[in-house]
Chain A
Amino acid sequence: MAVTRILTTGTAPNRGENARRNWYRFSRNPLSIIGLTMVILILILAVAAPIIAPHPPSAGKFLNFSMASRAPSAENWCGTDVFGRDILTRVLYGFRFSLMMVVVVLSLVVPVGVFFGLLAGYYRSTWIDTGIMRITDIFVSIPPLVLALAICAVLTPGVFNAMVAVSLMWWPWYTRMVYGVASSLRGEFFVQAAELTGAGKWHILFKEILPNCLSSILTKMSLDAGWVILIGASLSFVGLGAQAPTPDLGSMVAEGSKYLPDQWWISVFPAFGIMLVVLAFNLLGDGIRDMFGTERG
């Protein structure tokens, strides 16, 4: 695109102009702005949890049976659990684990998945393509959550191992997506031109093809953030993620569900917490998708 623009107008679009145009497209939809604001707010809440939270000790090992199982009140906005811990505090700290999960999983998955996708796409219909894509076929032939649970089964339960399990099952999806983009870019003129001028394979893969996949990758990353949180919450709900007394939204819901229906606040507020984070990332992701004009899906 850049080349045609240089040829027709004599100027390359500068970064500032592109960013402005993207921001304009993004901000057309009020929902995207709401999503962005929510994500930023949750980030601030999570980072500043020790300062903001009404009762920081509740996040760890803390017992106060005189305060146990209080319904939501002016003092404890979301009530307290059976150990007397403030639920609002624990939800705020729970955001930290959810966000950490997103960051760790995506930073493990994206480089690996994208690399194999580029490789398979560029070397299309060679043994590299066949090898990589058949392996991804195997991974996507089983429901993602089932595979994550199975991997968790052989690891000791914990936050880190849950992240490993989710990452192991997630990379093929990036490979498949990048494969689609890369294999269609392979025949484009700018790639052929680079090949003709004798550019190295790594240059072609990372400098020519990769930048053109970035919009799809970014879109998928922002849409996936919500899914990662959902899967992470599901794992910790069944006790394969964060262990007590770590404040994790999924395990808090599981813990609270034992005390239904009388002490509904113990599980309901963490559940709202999960919904809020996932909603924020989904709105943001939809906004980014519309901004890049990527196919709906």
Chain B
Amino acid sequence: MKFTVLQAGRVLFWIHRKTKEGPAEQPCSARNSMRLVRFLAKRLMHAAFVLIGLSILIFLIARVMPGNPARMAMGPRAPQWAIEKLEKQMYLDRPLPIQYFYWFKSAISGDFGDSLVTKRSVSEDIIEYFPASLELAIYAAVFMGIAGVVLGTVSGWFANTWIDNLVRVIAYIGIVTPSFVFAIFFVLIFSYWLELFPTIGRLSSGIDGPPVITGMVTLDALITGNPAAFWDGLKHIFLPAVSLAMGPMAQEARITRSSLADNAGKDFIAAERACGIPERTIMFKYLLKPSLIPTISIYGLDFASLMGNAFLIELIFNWPGLSRYGMNAILQKDLNAVIAAIMVFGVVFVIVNIAIDLAVERLDPRIRFRTGG
């Protein structure tokens, strides 16, 4: 079955048109699922547009660079005719829009050209390095979400006590400290002085890695039932993940705390208190849910800073992920690899944002029941 990108776009557009607000006598649940599909179709179309725009932007940035990509690929001593031949192959002798067209055509089928540094196809490199980055991002994102919400809630529960102030100080430290500084402090304290965690890499040299299934060491170890590798992988991922998550976590804690404080003054809380509902129930059943909406909305921005900082953290911890690959490509001006790595980050970020919008929509009835979607 051949399914081109153009067809996918057509299907999305068709869904979007077909799922317009149905007649009012439809049951509520059917209308809601209809809205969900429509919402998804709309977001996916938007995502496609944004990603194409991003690819044009990155492509332009890469092409304004002084210097001839063909010359860089062949090295300084290559003969002129060979360079001209490669230029023809890379369509460098054609105008920019046509160059972009050819790039786009091959990129759609997953071919981003060859890397100048590793001398392999960029897509192969990405497939190899991506799981490590994903693993790190998942650990960091989970840590930042849970720790941020817990800290914020604790701070709101004990509002205006020393616990609240302590959390506030922690949040300030988290916000003003760059992630690479956290990384260096943590390595200094926990690896060198306390010797609790390893400094770099994914696994200790003495331990056999689990067979590659997903490419994520801890998950693979879990699947194959290898507790030693799992424990070792966990120890290796702990410091990078925590240093990545500290800043965004502080942001989450602050937002949760302030939105708890805002909502605590609302009428519905006063009404519940007047009814004699215990404080604990009010807090965890009624107050926390609406207060988490801003926290989740800001999660997208926090995830963005997490992805950006991963470039530095993976470099510091020598983590064999896509960000370190991208960073090395940037430092060595390996443009095919830079473009591809950035497109992958763009796609991941767009997907995360759609997921966040869906989560907010689930939590916030005001958005869920707004007509039109």
Contacts and interface: CB of A to CB of B under 8 A. Distances in A.
Interface of A: 134-135, 137-139, 141-147, 149-155, 226, 230, 233-234, 237-240, 250, 253-254, 257, 260-261, 264, 267-268, 271, 274-275, 278-279, 282, 296-297
Name which of A141, A149, A296 has the most chain B CB atoms within 10 A of its CB: A141
Given A152-B330, A250-B178, A274-B181, 17 more contacts: A138-B54, A144-B305, A150-B342, A153-B329, A153-B333, A153-B335, A154-B333, A155-B65, A234-B179, A234-B308, A239-B331, A254-B180, A260-B192, A264-B188, A271-B184, A282-B175, A296-B262
Contacts of A234: 178-180, 308-309, 312
Chain B CB within 10 Å, residue with most, of A155, A261, A278, A279: A261
Interface stretch (B36-44, B267-275, B343-351): B343-351
Contacts of B258: 296
A141 B349 CA distance: 7
Given A137-B50, A142-B54, A261 B193 contact: yes
Contacts of B49: 134, 137
Contacts, number: 138
Nearest to A137: B50
A251 to B, nearest CB: 11
Nearest to B62: A154
Nearest to A239: B331
20 contacts: A138-B57, A142-B342, A142-B349, A145-B305, A146-B308, A146-B311, A146-B342, A153-B329, A153-B333, A153-B335, A153-B338, A154-B62, A154-B64, A253-B184, A271-B177, A271-B185, A274-B181, A275-B176, A282-B172, A297-B294
B304 interface: yes
Interface string B169-204: 000110111111100110110001100000000000
B107 interface: no
Size band of the interface chain B makes with A: 35 or more
Interface in B252-280: 255, 258, 262
Contacts of B316: 257
B330 A153 contact: yes
A238 B331 contact: yes
Contacts of B134: none
A142 B178 contact: no
B178 A274 contact: yes
Given A134-B49, A146-B345, A149-B327, A154 B176 contact: no
Nearest to A229: B178
Contacts of A264: 188
A150 B53 contact: no
Contacts of B345: 142-143, 146
A237 B61 contact: no
Given A141-B346, A150-B58, A153-B333, A275 B177 contact: yes
The winner among B62, B65, B309, B330 for most chain A CB atoms within 10 A is B330
B61 A151 contact: yes
Contacts of A144: 304-305, 308
Contact of B305 (A138, A143, A279): A143
B48 to A, nearest CB: 11
B181 A238 contact: no
B315 interface: yes
A238 B184 contact: no
B232 to A, nearest CB: 22
A138 B330 contact: no
A42 B179 CA distance: 22
B200 to A, nearest CB: 12
Contacts of B346: 141-142
A135 B305 CA distance: 21
B307 interface: yes
Contacts of B181: 253, 271, 274-275
B282 interface: no
Nearest to A145: B308
